[in-house]
Amino acid sequence: MTDGAPTDLLVVDLTERTVERERLPDRWLREYVGGKGLGARYLYDRLDPGTDPLGPDNHLLFMLGPLSGLLPGEPQFAAITRSPLTGTFLDSYSGGAFAGALVGALDGALGVAVTGASDEPQALELEAGEATLAPAEDLWGRDVVETCAAFDAPVACVGPAGEHRVRYATIASDGGDHHAGRGGAGAVMGAKGLKAVVARGAPPERPPEIESLREAYESKYRDDDVGRWHAASATLETVDFADEVGVLSTRGWQEGSFDGADDIGIEAVREAAVERERDGEAIPGGFRVETEDGQSVPRGATPMSLGAGLGIDDFDAVATLGQACDRLGLDVISAGNAVAWAIRASESGLVDADFGLDEPLSFGDERVAEALIESISRRDTDAADALADGVDAAAERLGAEQLVPTVKSMEVPAYDPRGSPTMALAYATSDRGACHRRSLPAETEVFRDEWDEADRVRLVIREQTISSALWCLIADDFAGAALEDDLGAEWLAAIDARAPTDPAELLRVGERTWTLTRLFNVREGFDAGDESLPTAFQQPLSEGPSDGAALDPGWFDRLRRRYYAAREWSAEGIPARSLLDRLDLLDVVDDDTPVAASPLASHDE
């Protein structure tokens, strides 16, 4: 057993140019562990309701967990803030060399909290537990590849999209190979005038007891279904799976299957790949491919959102579009949906906006899609400026229908609920807006002949709670599958962390964290009205296995009420006092946060 688990947070005020080291309360460390939980507790405590996400008072946290650098798989960090796209709590994750270096650079701290804003671009350099600021004006305007190359250590940075406060800008690292992608953390970073964070440090040495655990869990992961799938295809087989079962959003959510799926799926990737990210390691990374602009590592969302979603069936073209987003620092899911909305609105004559393009917008045309993505990243036309604020903002400003679905103003990933209805519940109840990372019931539902509403609710709640628990550790998304049995209890016991080492209590940490992010959101005014069924899902699909499928809003409302009852929330989606008492949250809730007197009763489901 070792000691000395991280307990501190570096706090950087960009307005005052100060850096302090703050000791985190033992209770926080015990009840939230690290990562998502600790970040949620800190943000709830420090932000006033209504804080402008792009204003100086918002906080941007780069968080680790107590096991960062020790767990199997790729080291990860969490970017945590209030989202400029949704206004909700936001946690977004990224791995790679920067995440690994951050562990050593923080030297016993669990993260960095950045507040304030600088009038001039800055780079934050982290080393040996210290933080310093340096001018970065010469880097402003450069893309993420150029920015990362300007330093002699791993970097997390923003590209032009973050500088221009595109509300779905990413925080990119490792030359654009990795991104804290969804929800606009990059816009928060750009608004603060923070161009880059540089981490100079090495991952921690692993003591013998940790090394033996790591070997055992790597072996366990390789034998797991998730491990075998990941080793074979990383995330890129998702396009093949989604197409086969009829949940692949195609041509702006009009179809559920793509006739060009084989041309952008896993076999096309394998043929194009030059190597894997971590060749020869126990848990390999993504596939690296060549494009006209150099190498990139496309993830599953790239062919789904920028390929099928835009009707583009050439893998090289899809990879080029993905790399354009990577270099500019744009979330590929939101960017793909924004372009799809613009195409549908333009083709149908609903808007007569000048997109500043040489050719008309149309599905299947990668050249105009790339031109529009570039334009969005720099907000260089009125239409691009509207799209840079998200699909909801564009629909309102340009005077057209929503056309593509959003939840809490976040564009929906490419798993279409009309082919997997429980996905609608997962999207609606996600704490950061539409997200398949909290729960992905499509992987289970499409193989079930009979599945009642109770089954659907149980699965979504279980996956959301487990993901929250594992994100308090910030476990690798895939290797984390090997931790689901005890949620890292064996590991925490080995390092003598100030966290529970009982799996049941760690599951409670996940539930407490999920509930706290819900409290954050209801304090910002979110309730059941923000979790209704998008109109796009009420329209019948065409083509593929889900041809003609549509979702009934009455059925969905019943399912959502059943979920609220199971979560011990009210009919408005507000956590009840009895739940907060059970989770030791009653004394955490402030006077600005609504609390329900009682939960929705099960007989009212």
CA atoms of 61 and 112, how far apart (whole Å):
6
More confident residue, 544 or 126: 126
Please, what CATH class does the domain formed by 8-200 belong to?
Answer: alpha beta
Residues in CB range of 245: below 8 A, 6 or more apart: 419, 420, 442, 446, 545
Give pLDDT, residue 2.
43
pTM over cut 0.85: yes
Nearby residues of 279 by Cβ (< 8 Å), 6 or more positions away:
none
Q: What is the CATH number of domain 236-411?
A: 1.10.569.10
Q: What is the pLDDT of residues 145-185, one digit of tens each?
A: 999 999 999 999 999 999 999 999 999 999 999 999 999 99
- Both tokens of 305, joined, read 């959102």
Taking residues 435-443, report their average pLDDT: 94
CATH 1.10.599.10 fits 422-604, yes or no: yes
Secondary structure percentages of the chain, helix, strand, coil, to 5: 45, 15, 40
Query: Residue 33 — very low, low, confident or very high, per pLDDT cuts 50/70/90?
Result: very high
With cut-offs at 50, 70 and 90, classify the pLDDT of residue 4. low
Alpha carbons 76 and 298: distance in angstroms, whole number: 18
- Whole-number mean pLDDT of the chain? 93
Return d(Cα 517, Cα 22) in angstroms, integer: 22
Hey, is 451 helix, strand or coil? Answer: coil
Whether residue 353 is predicted with pLDDT greater than 90 in this model: the reply is no
Which tops the pLDDT comparison, 356 or 452? Answer: 452
Cβ pair 82, 90 in contact under 8 A: yes
pLDDT surpasses 70 at 497: no
For the residues 577-598, what does the mean pLDDT come to? Answer: 98
pLDDT > 70: percent of the chain = 98
Q: Would you list the DSSP string of 2-59?
A: ------EEEEEETTTTEEEEEEPPHHHHHHH-SHHHHHHHHHHHHPPTT--TTSTTS-
The full set of domain ranges for the chain reads 8-200, 236-411, 422-604
- Whether 233 shows a pLDDT value over 70: the answer reads yes
Question: Are the beta carbons of 585 and 516 closer than 8 angstroms?
Answer: yes
